[in-house]
């Protein structure tokens, strides 16, 4: 992956944790994502934790999509194959365009770490109202894999041959 001498552009991002078992104090995955965004030079303009309920997830994400101040949303949790997991179902109706390659690439990276169990990951991404949305599994390890292997570079305007920065709304 190449970088150019183009200027870094700090983005406004929000992080949503979907969990029936964690609260704000025990949300290590959400903490990791917020810290990684800040360390990369981005601004965390929102964060929330909701139970795994497609309508609650959709309500929070919809408000961020509608906001002029949020360009990127990263969701952790609720992407597994368990019947209680509903993040993909919550997000799919919101997408103007799905980024199919994200789930494929995440599972490829994850395969190296957890083998064929990655088949049960329903990590997805898409664009809605010029807002980039990533949904990854809730474990901190999966969040780290997604951030380091995909998301970090795609939020960097210097990444070549392409990245998502030019597709995002201007705050």
The domains located in the chain, with CATH, are 8-161 (3.40.980.10)
Predicted model pTM: 0.94
- Between strands 159-160 and 2-3, the pairing is antiparallel
Task: Cite the beta strand spans of 32-130 per DSSP E.
Answer: 43-50, 72-76, 97-98, 124-128
Which residues are within 8 A (CB) of 136 and not within 5 positions of it... i.e. 6 or more apart?
74, 75, 76, 79, 106, 123, 142, 143, 146
Residues 6+ apart with CB under 8 A from 59: none
- Taking only the tens of pLDDT, the chain with its 171 residues reads 566 657 999 999 999 999 988 888 888 999 999 999 999 999 999 999 999 999 999 999 999 999 999 999 999 998 888 888 899 999 999 999 999 999 999 999 988 888 788 777 899 999 999 999 999 998 999 999 999 999 999 999 999 999 999 999 998
């Amino acid at each position: 992956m190449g970088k150019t001498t183009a200027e870094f552009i700090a983005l406004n991002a929000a992080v949503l944790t979907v969990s029936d078992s964690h609260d704000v104090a025990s949300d290590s995955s959400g903490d990791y994502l917020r810290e990684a965004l800040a360390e990369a030079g981005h601004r965390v303009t929102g964060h929330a934790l909701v139970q795994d309920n497609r309508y609650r997830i959709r309500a929070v994400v919809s408000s961020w999509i509608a906001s002029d101040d949020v360009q990127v949303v990263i969701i952790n949790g609720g992407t597994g194959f368990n019947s209680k997991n509903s993040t993909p179902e919550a997000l799919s109706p919101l997408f103007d365009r799905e980024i199919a390659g994200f789930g494929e690439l995440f599972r490829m990276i994850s395969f190296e770490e957890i083998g064929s169990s990655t088949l049960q990951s329903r990590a997805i991404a898409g664009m809605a109202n010029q807002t980039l949305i990533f949904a990854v599994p809730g474990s901190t390890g999966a969040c780290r894999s997604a951030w380091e292997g995909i998301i970090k570079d795609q939020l960097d305007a210097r990444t070549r041959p392409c990245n998502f920065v030019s597709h995002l709304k201007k705050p």
